[in-house]
Structure 1
Amino acid sequence: MNQEIIQKYSVPVPRYTSYPPANYFNDSFTAESYREAVIASNDASPQHISIYIHIPFCFRMCYYCGCNAMLLRSPASVEAYREALKKEMRLVLPLLSHGRKISQIHYGGGTPTSQPASFLQELNEIVLSEFDCIDQPEIAIECHPGYMDETYWKTLPDIGFNRVSIGIQDFKEEVLRTTRRKGSRLPLEDIVGWLREKQVSVNFDFIYGLPLQTRESFSESIRHAVDIQPDRIVTFSYAHVPWVNPLQKKLEVAGLPGPVLKSNLFDDAASILTHAGYKAIGMDHFVLPDDELYHALQEKTLARNFQGYCTRHTTGQVYAFGVTGISQLSNSYSQNVKDLDTYISMVNAGRLPVLKGYSLNREEQLAREVISTLMCNYSVNWEEVASSAGVPVGQVKQAIHYDEQVLKAFADDGILVFDETAIHVLPEAAPFVRNVAAALDKLMLHSDKKFSKSL
């Protein structure tokens, strides 16, 4: 993509982790709304249960972070949160049909590994004692390698985890120092070796678009990762959202890469990874050829939820626990309160700690299917979506902002090809799939919401 096209499409658009995006949630969706939605979800698809557990605590705050995180508090406060988390699980899990199966458990944050492994084991046992699992469920955790010793790494497989995501972000010390990120405490080669001995799959997570990153330095980091050969390498685009996290303003002082350099960072990384045999998945994932995500992409069955990319085999309705957790059910979303003390007090009073949410009407459910399919598989076949939803093709197109003149403008810029049957985003234009999705989104026609830039 030339610089003119990059500049043209480097505009704020949703990431579409959900549809509608989370900043459309509203407080008319209440705790009772969520309770009713959970019960109704037992008769909806997908039938599998996906559990998300939020650990908000961090040893220190990285400047780039856009997650719902906070510094570790006093031991008494952390213990109060742990107890509330278990109580919330015991409020919700009995509402789920015990004929359903667990397909995913995912720990995010914050820094889940800020907590003792024994506590994580206890939470796993609460879930797994209540439900059976599908064959090969994914039990995953996000890890901060800066604080974990050998014993902690070797304990994770023993307490049930079969996938770990290691937050590296960059191997360059000056980049880490500027963003206030701590590098790995132990050699990553050793960590991967210990995990592989226990058949645990390993993700390496990087962020591109940080201060002091150059094409040469970021390429060197990616080559280092390739040498270690994790199962997946993820290259997240830095999302500059200082209205969410004011600490990000510190990165403006250090200087953020412009859209052209940021595009080059991604393109260079993608080139290195594909030449090394990794396969591109979605906007930012690269996996080895035998990975289930690559097979799903080939079969056009790649899926996505708040846990990330997954297959239709492992995807499930998401039931989230913990402060700020977002549940993702068949026809609604529910987000927990964001204040730690409020969360603890509500759960201790036996109340579901719902802050806000969103109920999707039929048209929005169709729009979600179109946008999710596009974001995962880079293409949308109108007949396939209509057949899956049991509606005419015309009804699908009415649910979105389908405008052939808009699509033609994308086509003229080399972003996609289309005809009356389908849309296909071109491989070299993959970073702009968010732009195409936004163009199909009726909600974006008159939106006053804030989003990060596509690049």
Structure 2
Amino acid sequence: MVDFEAFVKYSKPGPRYTSYPTALEFSDEFDYDEYIKRLKECDKPLSLYFHLPFCRSACYFCGCNVIYTSKSDKMSRYLDYLERELEILATIIDTKRSVVQMHFGGGTPTFYSANQLDRLIKSIKKHFKNFTNDAEISCEIDPRFLNQEQLEVLSKHGFNRVSFGVQDFDEKVQKEIHRIQPFNITQNAVNLARKYGMLSVNTDLIYGLPYQNLESFKRTLELGVSLNPDRFAIFNYAHVPWIKKSMRKFDETTLPSPKTKLEILKYTMDYLPKNGYKMIGMDHYAKPSDELFKALSNGSLHRNFQGYTTKGGAQLIGVGLTSIGEGDDYYAQNHKDMANYEAAIDAGRLPNSKGIYLSNQDKLRKFVIMELMANFSLDIKRVESEFGISFFDYFKAELDELGELKQFMNISNQKIEINQTGTLLIRNIAMCFDEYMAKFKGVNNSFSKTV
């Protein structure tokens, strides 16, 4: 039995570790020429991310980089610049390399019409022709902005995975977060995805939103399971009103307490396995037939900015406003400001604004943290072999810092294995191996709360 009252003390600001080092370490001192050199020299398979930032209106909980508009000319202009960015990219990287993954994120990608989506995908495939037969090609979808014509286009171009944003089915919660989405709209969207052959359907839920409680979230889970998705992503709401102004609209007294959030999380961790889903990493669940489950079983699960994936080892190229790319020893992010983004492309340059090159120390700690976040375990002997260290000597201070968190794991000479209760605190555990965390000690406005 989990003592939720005792767990409250672990609630403190901490990263989600979609990258290591985190995006807060990215700098505009990132050398552009060095970045181009790495792009030219890399011969790994490709993972492509396209950011489509537009939404019609604000969902108050959202932490994504979005632009609110109803102007079709603004959206069409953005496609013009995406095409020009692709033209520049094609002069730098070998576009004949195999593409193992492509993802459309946002914003609301399906805010674009079927014809516009068709135009964009054709532009991509004009340059990148070598998609592997098992490539994961996915799109984030707001069920409120989806029609049959759009799914026809996605299906025609080989998209095989969709992720539906839901967050919560409770009407009171939906009204408060400014996202009215009746169950039948989501149900119709899922049915349409199945009709057009989407092999994997994901449903996104969020706990920690205003007016949520354990009983209301139980109902949301029941409705979610009735849709029979292949995966669930169930995120802890990141309340960062100092970054996202829309979050200031919430009365913070209506947010569930850390104790209530833990009760919701624990119930979710019990409920979904009883209904055919296995916990995958920190906040994902998948059916045993899903490739994420298989990747977890053989230890090949990988974590990046899109969450958990089976396509580890690929070079991630971020295209579009704010997009982030990842290589063996760097992260690179595009401009967040549209004027700067356009100006770079007008100058014939990739719209890179900042990034970070990873030291050997960064690469070691990245491996440790990402293994813990993805697989809830760490092969100590593999770390020692790949990085030429004595694990227990190198990380003596970090292992000491774990302190009472050690009760939630088993540490042997061979492995670190996190138990089920410890998975609730995986961010806290990972933070002990993060050398950058020292400078955030005592700083509240840095990350969302871990619990």
In structure 1, what is the Cα distance between the partners aligned to 2:33 and 2:15?
A: 29
Question: Compared with structure 1, are the counterparts of its residues 154 and 309 closer, same or farther at alpha carbon in structure 2 (3 Å cutoff)?
Answer: same
SS for the counterpart of 2:91 is helix
Q: 1:418 to 1:408 in 2, by over 3 A?
A: farther
- Partner of 2:201, secondary structure, is strand
- Shift in alpha-carbon separation, 1:253–1:16, aligned structure 2, 3 A: closer
Classify the secondary structure of the residue corresponding to 1:95: coil
Structure 2 CA distance, aligned partners of 1:87 and 1:191?
A: 32
CA distance in 1, matches of 2:151, 2:97: 31
What is the TM-score when the length of structure 2 is the normalising length?
0.93
**What does residue 453 of structure 1 align with?**
449
Q: Is the 8 A contact 1:147 1:185 kept in 2?
A: no
Identity %: 34
Residues 397 and 320 of structure 1: is their aligned pair in 2 closer, same or farther, counting only changes over 3 Å?
farther
Q: Deviations over 1:307-344 (max 9, x none)?
A: 221114x6521100111111111110111111112212
Q: Distance in 2 between matches of 1:108 and 1:218?
A: 26
Q: 2:116, 2:313 → 1: CA distance?
A: 26
Pairing 1:16–2:11 present: no
Question: Residue 100 of structure 1: SS of its match in structure 2?
Answer: coil
Residues 233 and 285 of structure 1 are in contact (CA less than 8 Å); yes or no, is this contact kept in structure 2?
yes
- The secondary structure found in structure 2 opposite 1:309 is strand
Matched AA of 1:293 = L
Per mean C-alpha deviation after superposition, the further-off stretch among 437-446 and 272-281 is: 437-446
Residue of structure 2 equivalent to 1:104: 101
- Alpha carbons of 1:396 and 1:331: their partners in 2 closer, same or farther (altered >3 Å)? farther
Cα RMSD (Å): 2.0
**Could you tell me which of 137, 140, 144 is aligned with 1:139?**
137
* Deviation, structure 1 residue 254: 6.0
With 222-231 and 263-272 compared, the bigger mean Cα shift is at 263-272
Shift of 1:101: 0.7
Equivalence for 1:50: 47
Mapped partners of 1:78, 1:86: distance in 2: 13
After TM superposition, list the pairs within 5 Å mapping 1:246-257 onto structure 2: 246-253=245-252, 255-257=254-256
Task: Please state how far the C-alpha of 1:355 moved relative to its aligned partner.
Answer: 1.4
The answer as to whether partners of 1:145 and 1:186 remain within 8 angstroms in 2 is no
SS in 1 for 2:279: strand
- Runs of 4+ aligned structure 1 residues displaced above 4 Å come to none
Query: How far did residue 73 of structure 1 move?
Result: 5.4
Change (3 A) 1:131 1:366: farther
Q: Is the 8 A contact 2:169 2:183 kept in 1?
A: no
Contact 1:206–1:234 (CA under 8 A) maintained in structure 2 = yes
Secondary structure, counterpart of 1:393 in structure 2: coil
Cα distance change on mapping 1:421 and 1:350 into 2, 3 Å? same
Compared CA separation, residues 112 and 394, structure 1 to 2 (3 A): same
1:55 touches 1:109 (CA, 8 Å); kept in 2?
yes
Q: Does 1:212 align with 2:211?
A: yes
TM-aligned CA distance change 1:396 to 1:353, over 3 Å: farther
Equivalent runs, 1:303-342 vs 2, <5 Å = 303-312=302-311, 316-342=314-340
Paired AA for residue 180 in structure 2: K
1:185-204 equivalences under 5 Å are 187-200=185-198, 201-204=200-203
**What is the aligned partner in structure 2 of residue 444 from structure 1?**
437
Opposite residue 170 of structure 1, the aligned amino acid is D
TM, length-normalised to structure 1: 0.92
Q: SS where residue 338 of structure 1 aligns?
A: coil
The match for 1:62 is: 59
Separation in 1, partners of 2:351, 2:392: 35
Are residues 1:160 and 2:158 paired? yes
With 8-17 and 25-34 compared, the bigger mean Cα shift is at: 25-34
| Structure 1 stretches lacking a partner, 5+ long | none
1:28 and 2:32 aligned = no
Structure 2 unmatched runs, 5+: none
Aligned residue runs from structure 1 range 32-431, under 5 A: 32-42=33-43, 47-72=44-69, 74-129=71-126, 130-183=128-181, 187-200=185-198, 201-253=200-252, 255-312=254-311, 316-387=314-385, 389=386, 391-394=387-390, 398=394, 402-411=397-406, 414-431=407-424
Distance 1:395 1:126, change over 3 A: farther
Shift of 1:345: 2.3
In 1: Cα distance, 2:229 partner to 2:157 partner? 21
1:422 Cα deviation (Å)?
Answer: 2.2
State the 1:76 CA deviation. Answer: 2.9
Contact 1:30–1:354 at 8 Å: present in 2 too?
no
